[in-house]
Amino acid sequence: MPLPFLASLYFEGLPPWFPEPLVALKYTTAAAALALTKWYTSGRLNPSERKLHGRVVILTGGTSGIGAKVAYELASRGAQLCLLTRQPGNDPFLVDYINDLRSRTNNQMIYAEQVDLSSLYSIRQFATKWIDNAPPRRLDMIVLCAATLTTPGHARTETEEGVETEWMVNYLANFHLLGILSPAIKAQPFDRDVRIIIPTCNSYIGAPKLEPELVGDKKGYWSPKMAYARSKLALMVFAKSYQKHLDAYKRPDQLPMNARVVIVDPGFARTVGMRRWLTRGSLWGLFLYMVFYVVAWLLLKSPNMAAQSIMFAAMDGSLLRGTGGKLIKECMEIDCARKDVEDEEVAKKLWEESDKLVEKTEKAAAIKRAREKKEREEREKVEEIESLVETIKKGKAKEGGKKKKAEKAAK
C-alpha cells in the first residue's frame, strides 16, 4: 500500500535499500540518456492520414522488413495490393502470408504476381502483361521496396543473365520495370494522384561517382558496400530523371502530368537485410547479434518506424504541390547530399547506358532461351522416337510370343 510507505518516508526518511542521492542521480541520468537515444533513433511517426480505398498499388519487397510493414499499412487503409514476389503465387509460405495479411487488415484485395527482380525477362513478362490491358488498368502507386545486398566478405555475384546482382536488383530492375510501366502511368486520368515511391539509403552519400563507368562495375574494384551504395546513387539519379521524363509527356487532353516520384530514405532498421549485413551471413555473426541485440534495438529503428516515411510519401497532401522528385527522410523533405544526383548530364548518360545494357542482356538471354528451347525440343523428339521404337519392339516381341504359343498349341 502506498500510504504506509509514504508515511514511513515522511517520518523515517528514505529506506535503507534506496540508493544514495548521487548514485540515484547517476542511474536516472543514464536511464534518461538511454530513453533519449531510443526516442531519437526511433525516428518520427507519420503525421498524415488518408483512406486508400480502391487505390491500386504495385509493391515490390512487400514480404519482408520495411516492405512488409508498408504492405500492412496500405492494406489496412483499403488499398488493392499487387505484391511482386520472387516466389510463385502458389508457394505455401506466400499463400499463408497473404491469407494472414488479408485477415489482419480485413482486406481481400491483396494478391501476388511472381516477378524475379534479378531477371529482366521476368520483369518484362509482368510489366507487358500489365500494360497490355485495354482499357488501361487503374494504377495509383508503385512502391519499390525490394533490394538486395551482398554480405561483407562475400564475393561478387552475377544474375543468371550476367549482371552484377546488386546493380540488377537495386537499380536496373526498377529502371526496367518503370520503363515498361511508363505508358500505364501516363494513361491515368489527370486528377488521379499517382505516386512512384523509391526507397533509398543514405549510403549513397559515400558512393563512388557513377562516371566514368556508368553501368556495371569494374571487377577488380568492387566491394559489397560500394556496390550497394552505387546502386542506390544510380537509383536516385534515375528517380530524378524519371520525374522529368513524366513531366515532359504531353497528354492528349493537354492537361499537365500529375504523377510524382518520391525518393524516401527510411533510415536504418532491424530488418532481415540489415541483420544479414551486420552478421555477415555467418552463424558467429548471428550469435553476436543475439547477444548484443539490445545495442541493435537501441540504435536501429523497428521496421514499422522505418515504414513511416514511406507512408508519409504515400499519403501526405503537401507532396502534391510543386514538383516531384523530392527526397523524404523522417517524414519531411530534405535536400540531397550530393550534387551529382541532380546532374542532367550524368542522368542522361546513365539512362542511355542502362537502356543499352538492358537491350544487350535481354538479347543474349533471348538467344540462350531459344537455344535451350531448341535443344529441349530436339531431346524430347529423340526421346519420343526412342519410346516409339521401344513400344514397337515390345509389341513385336509380344506378337512373336503369341505366334510361338499358337504354333505350339497347333502341334
Q: Taking each helix axis as running N to C, give the angle between helix 272-279 and helix 283-291, from 0 to 180 degrees, rounded to the nearest 10.
A: 110
What is d(CA 289, CA 287) in angstroms, rounded to the nearest whole number? 5
Per-residue contact flags (x/-) with ligand NAP for residues 158 to 177, judged by CB under 6 A: -----------x--------
Dihedral class, residue 101 (left if φ above 0, else alpha if ψ from -120 to 50, else beta):
alpha
Looking at 148, 279, 309, 354, which residue binds ligand NAP (CB under 6 A)? Answer: 148
Which of these segments, 65-73, 100-108, 315-323, 380-388, binds ligand NAP (CB under 6 A)? 65-73
**Contact partners, residue 150, CB within 8 Å, separation at least 6:** 156, 157, 165, 166, 224, 227, 228
Per CB under 6 A, 255 contacts ligand NAP: no
Looking at 46, 63, 174, 243, which residue binds ligand NAP (CB under 6 A)? Answer: 63
Counting Cβ atoms within 10 Å, is residue 401 exposed (0-12), middle (13-18) or buried (19+)?
exposed
Looking at 274, 278, 313, 327, which residue binds ligand NAP (CB under 6 A)? Answer: 274
Counting Cβ atoms within 10 Å, is residue 261 exposed (0-12), middle (13-18) or buried (19+)?
buried
Q: Cβ(222)–Cβ(152) under 8 Å? A: no
Which residue has the closest beta carbon to ligand NAP? Answer: 65
Residue 122 or 188 having the CB closest to ligand NAP: 122
What is d(CA 206, CA 193) in angstroms, rounded to the nearest whole number? 34
Q: Taking each helix axis as running N to C, give the angle between helix 173-186 and helix 120-131, from 0 to 180 degrees, rounded to the nearest 10.
A: 10
- Nearest alpha-carbon partner for 350 in 212, 194, 161: 212
Which of these segments, 57-65, 103-111, 347-355, 362-370, binds ligand NAP (CB under 6 A)? 57-65
> Shortest distance, CB of residue 32 to ligand NAP, whole angstroms?
26
> Shortest distance, CB of residue 185 to ligand NAP, whole angstroms?
20
Looking at 58, 75, 120, 146, which residue binds ligand NAP (CB under 6 A)? Answer: 146
Active site residue 301: no
Residue 69 or 77 having the CB closest to ligand NAP: 69
Q: Cβ(319)–Cβ(313) under 8 Å? A: yes
Size of the chain in residues: 411
Per CB under 6 A, 117 contacts ligand NAP: yes
> Shortest distance, CB of residue 262 to ligand NAP, whole angstroms?
13
> Shortest distance, CB of residue 229 to ligand NAP, whole angstroms?
10
Looking at 150, 241, 271, 309, which residue binds ligand NAP (CB under 6 A)? Answer: 271
> Shortest distance, CB of residue 264 to ligand NAP, whole angstroms?
8
Residue 86 or 240 having the CB closest to ligand NAP: 86
In the range 285-324, which residues lie near ligand NAP by CB under 6 A? none
What is d(CA 339, CA 17) in angstroms, rounded to the nearest whole number? 60
Per CB under 6 A, 230 contacts ligand NAP: no
Strands (DSSP E) found in 28-79: 56-60
**Contact partners, residue 256, CB within 8 Å, separation at least 6:** 190
Per CB under 6 A, 145 contacts ligand NAP: yes
Residue type, 27: Y
Per CB under 6 A, 201 contacts ligand NAP: yes
| Number of amino acids touching ligand NAP (CB under 6 A) | 25
> Shortest distance, CB of residue 123 to ligand NAP, whole angstroms?
9
Q: Name the catalytic one among 232, 240, 301, 326.
A: 232
Which of these segments, 213-221, 268-276, 291-299, 319-327, binds ligand NAP (CB under 6 A)? 268-276
> Shortest distance, CB of residue 98 to ligand NAP, whole angstroms?
13
DSSP string, 102-156: HHHHT---EEEEE--TT-HHHHHHHHHHHHT-SSPPP--EEEE-----PPTTPPP
Interacting residues with ligand NAP (CB under 6 A): 60-61, 63-67, 86, 116-118, 145-148, 169, 199, 201, 266, 268-269, 271-274
Instruction: Tell me which residues are annotated as active site.
Output: 232
